[in-house]
Amino acid sequence: MFQLENCTAMITGASSGLGSEFARQLGARARRLVLVARRGDRLLAIGAELEAQHPGLEVSTYAADLTRVVERDQLLNWLAAKSLKPNLLVNNAGVGDYGDFGEAEWQRVDALLQLNMVALTHLTHALLPGLRAAGGAAIINLSSLASLLPIPDFAAYAASKAYVTSLSESLRHELRADQVNVVALCPGPVRTEFGERARRGDTGKLDPPGGKLIYAEAGRVVGQALEAAESNRARVFPSLPVFLVACAIEALPAPLLRFILGHRRRYDAEQP
């Protein structure tokens, strides 16, 4: 049975947004944190802050660009050399790309696919033997409400999150006998840096269905994800509006859903 108390947690994308919130909430309960992100200076600052706040907590940091397989391999070798064996894996690292798919730079799309799908799958596969051997472990995969929708102007992102949700559901069944809980965290928009990074340059505006009603605070999203990991829930829609939107999406006939999406306000590169 997995418990958060005294766990060893590895968090990707831990330098900001939901990743840093996972680190802060787990800092009060974990024995050791392994924080991974591109921005090593921010990881060191977060690690120092958490160790000062929580005597006895051990924080290890590793700077890596997880879109690159060579850096993922180096991370895994570093974990082995340090004898770091997480029993909680938080696959939080991810990126968006908002705008017309045909006008996207391929390098940007490729980085999205590598980070949102390939890196998540690679790290999960590599760490799975240790998670299985832990006698109680959990994986939290950051998906999205967008995983339920083929969203115009967010096409590659929504498709990548559909993969994450599907993979999480499959692994949940495969790992049940090994007491490894797998959770797909499916928030709507969250007030983090993600939205700004998903924009292309200084133009384009994110227009999530439901607008401000489905925004959630990072603390609430992370808190519900951690509760789900302990209680072995399959999916988390971390607010009542997001849960109701998810139920409506799954209940709608496909032709009606296509009609609604077809009349959704499109990306406009001229918007401020």
pLDDT at 117 over 90: yes
Residue 144 half-sphere exposure, CB side, CA atoms within 13 Å? 28
Higher pLDDT, 112 or 266: 112
In this prediction the pTM is: 0.88
Mean pLDDT of 23-41: 97
The 10s digit of each residue's pLDDT in 53-63 is: 999 999 999 99
Question: Measuring CA to CA, how many Å separate 235 from each of 45, 165, 182, 207, 226?
Answer: 32, 8, 9, 24, 12
Burial of residue 200, with CB atoms counted within 10 A of its CB: 0-12 exposed, 13-18 middle, 19 or more buried: middle
Give residue 98's pLDDT band: very low, low, confident or very high (50, 70, 90): confident
The C-alpha atoms of residue 142 and residue 165 are separated, in whole angstroms, by 9
The pair of structure tokens assigned to 160 is 């990548």
The 10s digit of each residue's pLDDT in 147-162 is: 998 888 889 999 999 9
pLDDT at 209 over 60: no
Question: Measuring CA to CA, how many Å separate 64 from each of 26, 188, 222?
Answer: 21, 27, 23
Give residue 259's pLDDT band: very low, low, confident or very high (50, 70, 90): confident
What is the pLDDT at residue 212? 62
Higher pLDDT, 146 or 115: 115
**What residues are labeled active site?**
157
Mean pLDDT of 119-147: 97
The C-alpha atoms of residue 264 and residue 15 are separated, in whole angstroms, by 34
pLDDT at 78 over 90: yes
Give the chain's domains with CATH numbers.
Answer: 8-262 (3.40.50.720)
Please provide the average confidence, as pLDDT, over all residues in the chain: 89
